[in-house]
Amino acid sequence: MPRKLFGTDGIRGVAGQPPLDPATVFAFGAALGEWVAHHSSPRVVIGMDTRESGPALAATVAGGLARAGVEACFAGVTTTPGVAYLAKTEDFVAGVMISASHNPYQDNGLKVFDHTGFKLPDAQEHRLEERIFALLAQCQSPVPLALKVDPAYDRHYSDHLASTFHGSLAGLKIVLDCANGAASEIGPELFERLGAQVVSTGCTPDGRNINLHCGALHVEGLRERVLAERGDFGAAFDGDADRCILVSGSGKIIDGDHNMLIAARKIRPPAVVATVMSNLGLQRALSADGIGLIRTAVGDRYVIEEMVRSGLPLGGEQSGHVIFRQFATTGDGLLTALRIFEIAASSGLTLDQLTEDFTSYPQKLVNVRFKVKRPIEELPAVQAEINAAEQEFGDAGRVLVRFSGTEPLARVMVEGPTADRVDFRAHAIAAAIEAAMS
Residues designated catalytic:
101
- Largest interatomic CA distance in the chain: 63
Helix (H, G, I), strand (E, B) or coil at 123: helix
Contact criterion met (CB below 8 Å) for 159 and 58: no
Amino acid at 317: E
Q: Say which residues have a Cβ less than 8 Å from residue 41's Cβ, sequence separation at least 6.
A: 91, 92, 93
Burial of 95 (0-12, 13-18, 19+ CB in 10 A): buried
Q: Catalogue the long-range contacts made by 163-169 (C-beta closer than 8 Å, 24 or more residues apart).
A: 164/327, 164/335, 164/338, 164/339, 165/194, 165/338, 165/342, 166/342, 166/346, 167/342, 167/345, 167/346, 168/194, 168/195, 168/345, 169/194, 169/195, 169/196, 169/341, 169/345
What is the rounded CA–CA span in Å between residue 301 and residue 417?
30
- The C-alpha angle with vertex 321 and arms to 320 and 324, in degrees rounded to 5, equals 125
List alpha helices for 268-375, DSSP H: 280-288, 300-310, 333-347, 351-354
Which H or E run contains 194? none
Contact criterion met (CB below 8 Å) for 24 and 59: no
What is the rounded CA–CA span in Å between residue 153 and residue 97?
13
Contact criterion met (CB below 8 Å) for 296 and 289: no
What is the rounded CA–CA span in Å between residue 215 and residue 257?
18
Contact criterion met (CB below 8 Å) for 30 and 67: yes
Beta bridge partner(s), residue 9: none
Question: What does each C-alpha distance from 46 to 29, 55, 110, 111, 430 come to in angstroms?
Answer: 11, 10, 10, 10, 42
Contact criterion met (CB below 8 Å) for 48 and 77: yes
Contact criterion met (CB below 8 Å) for 46 and 57: no
Contact criterion met (CB below 8 Å) for 203 and 188: yes
